[in-house]
Structures are given as C-alpha cells and as structure tokens.
C-alpha cells in the first residue's frame, strides 16, 4: 500500500511545447507497472489550453471548477462545467482548456503505453480555440 499525503508532492509545470498559457499539474497517481493508470489534476489559467493530442488508451477528464472548452477534431467546441465528465476514445484527436475569461481545473485519468500517456501534435490555433461552441 502506498499513501501520498496531501501537500507532500510538488506541483509541476508541464512542457510548454504542449500547452498555450499557464498550466499546472498536481499528481494524483502514477501506478507502478504492471498497472498503467496515470491521473492528475490539471489547472488552467484563463485562455490556457493543451495542444492537439491523442491518447493510446483514451482519456477521461472530470471538470472540477471553472469552464472547460474541449474539441474533437472536426466538431464544434464543447463547453463543460463542474461535475461534467468527458471520455476521449483511443487515438481521438482533441484538445481541452479554460475559457478565455475563466480558469478551469479537471481531473485527468489515462493509461500509460511505453511510458507515455499522450501523443502530442500541433498547438491549437486561435481560430480553432475561438470556434463555434455548443454545450
């Protein structure tokens, strides 16, 4: 059994190549092999967002606070609110982040494949970020 006490692990700034704006990671669990579970709380300042990316085994995000914007490639931007949960299928190209004037935090749960939970692609353009919304 492993116990990670609250406040015992530092926040981490993610690789800026994969994000626009200020983002912070707070670890929840990186289970040791053979388990593949990886979960973290991701906090986005207003207008911050991921780059386009995919996940080899998919990803679940559960919105904790603020207003989340998320988009699957080729579809409108979705608005997600606290308590909403979104599943991205394996290999589904998508991005997610905070609204322009409201920060956001979500719990991200995904599985690792060969030491990585995501395959990072190009940054999200301002045009895609500002696209039509639904939700």
Q: Domains plus CATH for the chain?
A: 16-126 (2.60.120.10)
Q: Is pLDDT above 90 for 32?
A: no
d(CA 99, CA 16): 19
pLDDT of residue 111: 96
Strands, DSSP E only, in 1-135? 19-20, 23-30, 37-44, 49-50, 53-54, 59-66, 68-72, 77-80, 85-88, 94-98, 104-111, 119-120, 133-134
> Average pLDDT in the 28-41 region?
92
CA distances from 77 to 95, 121, 127 (A): 9, 18, 11
pLDDT in tens, 55-71: 999 999 999 999 999 99
In this prediction, residues 107-135 reach a mean pLDDT of 94
**Is 11 exposed, middle or buried, given 0-12, 13-18 or 19+ CB atoms closer than 10 A?**
exposed
Non-local (6+) Cβ contacts of 10 within 8 A are none
pTM, 2 dp:
0.94
User: pLDDT tens-digit profile of 110-119?
Assistant: 999 998 999 9
């Amino acid at each position: 059994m492993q116990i990670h006490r609250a406040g015992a692990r530092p926040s981490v700034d993610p690789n800026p190549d994969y994000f626009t704006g200020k983002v912070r990671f707070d670890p929840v669990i990186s289970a040791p092999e053979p388990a593949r579970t990886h979960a973290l709380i991701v906090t986005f300042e207003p207008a911050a967002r991921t780059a386009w990316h995919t996940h080899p085994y998919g990803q679940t995000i559960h919105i904790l606070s603020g207003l989340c914007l998320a988009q699957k490639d080729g579809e409108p931007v979705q608005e997600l609110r606290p308590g909403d949960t979104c599943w991205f299928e394996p290999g589904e190209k998508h991005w997610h982040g905070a609204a322009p004037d409201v920060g956001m935090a979500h719990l991200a749960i995904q599985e690792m494949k060969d030491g990585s939970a995501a395959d990072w692609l190009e940054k999200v353009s301002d045009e895609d970020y500002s696209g039509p919304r639904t939700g």
